[in-house]
Structure 1
Amino acid sequence: MAFPLAFAAGAAAVLALPPFSVLPAALLAYSALFLLVADAGPRRGLALGWAFGLAYFAFGLSWIAESFAVDAERFGWMAVPAVAGLSALLALFPALACAAFTRVHTSGATGAVLFATCWTAAEWLRGHVLTGFPWNLTGYALAEFDMLRQSAAWTGSYGLSFLVVLASVLPAAALRAEGVRRTGCLVLFGVLCLAVLAAGWLRLAATPPEGTGVRLRIVQGNIAQAKKWLPDQREAIFARYLRLSAAPGAFDVLLWPETAFPGDLDEDPAAVARIARMLAPDRILLTGVPERVADAEGTRYFNTIQAYDAEGGPVADYAKHHLVPFGEYVPRWLPIGRLVETPGDFTPGPGPRTLALPGLPLVGAAMCYEIIFPGHVADDAIRPDWIFNATNDAWFGTSIGPRQHLASARMRAVEEGLPVVRAANTGISAVIDAEGRIRDRLGMERTGIIDAELPAARPPTLYARLGDLVLPPLVLAALLLAWLTDGGAARLWRRT
């Protein structure tokens, strides 16, 4: 019975994440898992954690199956095996967390802290091993709550996962404890909730930065992925973007999504000339485009964000450095092909980069998938004033995938203290301020534009300065509080 319960708990945990954001589901799911593994041995803990993770990822990542339907004749048969296989592999991380916790067998608030520590360590590993896949971090349960997500400015999303799991399992730890240890669990639960609320209130109550005065225009062309690369659709697609971009209204920077132009834009002088004619002398276009470079090593392919001006540019570019496995490259040791039809694997760029564009605040670039990586979207050497996220979620239709992707973008805004501006082919395009609030948005499968002012940046957050180095002090502070509430304070008092 324990394994079906662990599986059900993993499925329930998905309800705590966007777009559902049912917070009590986190309390039920992680409390249930904690109770199931608290007295288990390492092997049983490993199996229970894997059952939890299998459901968590199978339901949370079910939207991946949509991408196989784009070319169903070739790849449709792979949808269920791909989601099942990926879920089974990712479930190893919750399994390792639970197995590690079973080595401790500590009760009370200290046990809750150690469980949350094991969970967060495994989640951090998931975000880094084999280039990482930090999708649906546990902390995103707070992503859609303005006050609650602000703690990520200090802790980052991994630290927020630690706080969510800790708060979720403390009531369960109280059920297993007695006397002062039970009271300690409840006291720590109250302190933790109040601290998160207070941190959020203080950050939102701070004097908001003044506006930038920079006028944005985001274009959402709403082109179905199955049509995007058809030769007979190329002119119609390009004409749609030009028409939407030329709509009445003033703007300083024009933003197109990933692969808005279905081809190598920098190799098409006629297309560049049409863009240049549309742009006033003081306007800039930022767009996601593929690029190929021939050098001594042969021909290499990049997924880039390029900037064009009225002179025809490009005046700057950025190459995506976090590539999508099986979409933009396939590990050489696997005998399978890519889902995306390209002449060859993409080459990763050198890393985050800040672009200096005429008349605009410094901009950081994040292409699609890259926005899911905490601490890897802004150049540490030259801090940008905002982040442009060009993306194409057309692969995933109207599933929960694009909504989860948007939640990641909101969390990066809070962590970095920077506005994030998102241009998505079929949605969700959005202007997100430095507190993670959505100022303007255009929903899925809608054609149109967003005209909005660029929100101002905040000073660098603690997480922007230190990154994941904030995690050890956070865990140590929680362990100290747990020890005190578990009776340590009383023992110290008696000694004095």
Structure 2
Amino acid sequence: MFFPDARQFSSRKPIQSWASLGAAIVAGALFVLALQPYSILPLALIAFALLAVLVRGASGFIAFRLGYFFGLGQFVSGLFWITESFQVEADRFGWLALPAVLGLSALLSVFPALACALAARMERAGLPLALSMATSWTATEWLRGHVLTGFPWNLAAYTLSDWTVAAQASSVVGTYGLGFLLVLCAALAGLAFVSAADGKRISRLATAGAIALSVTAFGAMRLLLADVPSERGAQIRVVQPDIAQSAKWDDAARNANILKLIALSARLGDFDILLWPETAWPGFLAEDAGARAMLGWLLPETGVLLTGSPEREETGAGTVYRNAVLAISRDGTILTRYAKHHLVPFGEYVPWRNLLPLQRLVQSLGDFTPGPGPRTLAFGPHPYAGIAICYEIIFPGHVVDDAIRPDWIFNATNDAWFGASIGPWQHLASARMRAIEEGLPLVRAANTGISAVVDSYGATLAMLEIDTSGVIDIRLPRPLPATIYARFGDWALLFLMLTSWTISGYWARRQQANLKGAST
């Protein structure tokens, strides 16, 4: 038999127990190879199929351990790129790199552990294990995205980010819902291989195939009926300066960094909106009218510069710092601004500062203060923009202002902290999913890469890869009408799960009735 049997693990033989735990770690690591930049989708199906088989028949405690080891394989290998950020100031933080990754992975592994324990309990209650696995996995992914400010990184559905046809379903049920369907298909297929009854094997494979076919058919139809891209959008220029993080705030390199941004922005070509990355300006641009006037010379008559810049404000409680994007007009006026509201723990602020004797990993004058939440910015005659600064783009359903729907999303980011690792690729996958969910084009300006322009269907139209300097000149793609997910958010996911439970319950009752009829 290809898959290990959880019933072997439940015995007291230590070799078999360790073999199953090892298989769980391997399955978690295989899942990472299905994510960007590798995108080997079959490995995600194998990973979840193997996990379902391991959990089958296991007690809650054993299932918890299996899920925990799966999580270790998933998070240690999938988040190891975080160690790059500790090397920027290696003399201060280098020693923390490995403990930080292992500690974070150990904490995050609790979520897949809870998913497996819950699935095992639901199976003992007589519910189908495949549906139990999909439901519990989705529920714990959702919790991971919300508990303690949330960290929805490398969700199951992101394995489909390069499979654009299948990813279209996220416009209806969102990223969590698409992950539910993926795990359900994989679990059904895995359990079919270990089923003793031919009838169950066929029905599980048929159900998995029907779900996969339905998702693919929906995506193909959505793309087939897609509007032809319009040339009426604003002309944009995305600047990627490729400034190393170690040089970004170096006083000796400050003028050279500014001149590099200006030289790239001043290249021949027309544009309406000029886009710079997160904290592109090495200082408090809002306080420097001369610098803003100088930057205005880069712009056409009605042009606008959207640039990242830190801000500070004196209040009665002291100085408040914000990570912001400013909209600057040709005459140097700040037309509007956006302050990042979802801050990175220990990177932009220290949670529970009064209790934890820790310092930030980023050297600066003080903790950042969060902004009020998602906002739509209006500036001049240009399309309305929704802004997401760096980390904010990874949160499904929390990027766009529900009160005023924007025409596009601008993701200003600085992934220079993570070098040429897989981290920026995983970050881009999250951003592309937001475009599909919301039905909005997305433009990403990154300091060292990956800058990209993504249409409303998640297709990448232009891209500057890691460690390259350059610009993207392109017309802004058209927005689509609000998707089902944009209108209803995760309520669509709840509807999907309730529908699945209803169908499953009806099928189980029908099978029981057939068995009763056969016995009489």
TM-score (norm 1): 0.97
Taking only the aligned residue pairs, the percentage that are identical comes to 52
Q: 1:195 aligns with which of 214, 235, 242?
A: 214
| Number of the residue aligned with 1:426 | 448
| Number of the residue aligned with 1:476 | 498
- Greater shift, 467-476 or 376-385, is seen at 467-476
Q: What is the rounded CA distance, in whole Å, between the counterparts of 1:58 and 1:486 in structure 2?
A: 39
| Number of the residue aligned with 2:5 | none
Q: 2:249 aligns with which of 213, 229, 233?
A: 229
| Number of the residue aligned with 1:71 | 89
Matched, 1:205 2:224: yes
Q: What is the rounded CA distance, in whole Å, between the counterparts of 1:427 and 1:248 in structure 2?
A: 22
Q: How does 1:11-410 map to 2 (within 5 A)?
A: 11-105=29-123, 110-177=128-195, 178-208=197-227, 210-331=230-351, 332=353, 333-410=355-432
Q: What is the rounded CA distance, in whole Å, between the counterparts of 1:493 and 1:484 in structure 2?
A: 14
Query: How big is the shift at 1:489?
Result: 6.8
Q: Which amino acid aligns with 1:243?
A: A
3-state DSSP of counterpart to 2:37: coil
3-state DSSP of counterpart to 1:278: coil
Q: What is the rounded CA distance, in whole Å, between the counterparts of 2:473 and 2:413 in structure 1?
A: 18
Post-superposition Cα deviations, 1:244-265, rounded to whole Å, max 9, x if no partner, equal 1111100000000011111111
Q: What is the rounded CA distance, in whole Å, between the counterparts of 2:507 and 2:457 in structure 1?
A: 33
Shift of the 75–465 alpha-carbon distance from structure 1 to 2, 3 Å rule, reads same
Q: Which amino acid aligns with 1:307?
A: A
Query: How big is the shift at 1:471?
Result: 1.4
Q: What is the rounded CA distance, in whole Å, between the counterparts of 1:213 and 1:90 in structure 2?
A: 42
Query: How big is the shift at 1:187?
Result: 1.8
* Contiguous gaps of at least 5 residues in structure 1: none
Q: What is the rounded CA distance, in whole Å, between the counterparts of 2:60 and 2:54 in structure 1?
A: 12
- Greater shift, 174-183 or 212-221, is seen at 174-183
3-state DSSP of counterpart to 2:420: coil
Query: How big is the shift at 1:190?
Result: 1.4
| Number of the residue aligned with 1:450 | 472
Determine if contact 1:180/1:487 at 8 Å carries over to the other structure: no
Query: How big is the shift at 1:493?
Result: 12
- Greater shift, 105-114 or 263-272, is seen at 105-114
Q: Which amino acid aligns with 1:186?
A: L
Matched, 1:466 2:484: no
Shift of the 172–121 alpha-carbon distance from structure 1 to 2, 3 Å rule, reads same
Q: What is the rounded CA distance, in whole Å, between the counterparts of 2:143 and 2:92 in structure 1?
A: 33
Q: What is the rounded CA distance, in whole Å, between the counterparts of 1:22 and 1:106 in structure 2?
A: 33
Q: Which amino acid aligns with 1:81?
A: P
Q: Which amino acid aligns with 1:251?
A: F
Determine if contact 1:283/1:310 at 8 Å carries over to the other structure: yes
TM-score (norm 2): 0.92
Q: Which amino acid aligns with 2:400?
A: A
3-state DSSP of counterpart to 1:457: coil
- Greater shift, 36-45 or 397-406, is seen at 36-45
Query: How big is the shift at 1:481?
Result: 3.6
3-state DSSP of counterpart to 2:164: coil
Q: What is the rounded CA distance, in whole Å, between the counterparts of 2:77 and 2:508 in structure 1?
A: 37
Q: What is the rounded CA distance, in whole Å, between the counterparts of 1:213 and 1:47 in structure 2?
A: 52
Determine if contact 2:376/2:401 at 8 Å carries over to the other structure: yes
Determine if contact 2:120/2:129 at 8 Å carries over to the other structure: no
3-state DSSP of counterpart to 1:105: helix
Determine if contact 2:239/2:264 at 8 Å carries over to the other structure: yes
Q: What is the rounded CA distance, in whole Å, between the counterparts of 2:47 and 2:507 in structure 1?
A: 24
Q: What is the rounded CA distance, in whole Å, between the counterparts of 2:185 and 2:124 in structure 1?
A: 17
Q: What is the rounded CA distance, in whole Å, between the counterparts of 2:238 and 2:110 in structure 1?
A: 40
Determine if contact 1:216/1:255 at 8 Å carries over to the other structure: yes
Q: What is the rounded CA distance, in whole Å, between the counterparts of 1:161 and 1:457 in structure 2?
A: 25
Q: Which amino acid aligns with 1:125?
A: L
Q: What is the rounded CA distance, in whole Å, between the counterparts of 2:516 and 2:189 in structure 1?
A: 28
Q: Which amino acid aligns with 2:316?
A: A
Query: How big is the shift at 1:487?
Result: 7.2
3-state DSSP of counterpart to 1:257: coil
Q: What is the rounded CA distance, in whole Å, between the counterparts of 1:241 and 1:63 in structure 2?
A: 27
Larger RCO, structures 1/2 (Cα 8 Å, 6+ apart)? 1
Determine if contact 1:216/1:251 at 8 Å carries over to the other structure: yes
Query: How big is the shift at 1:107?
Result: 10
Alignment size in residue pairs:
495
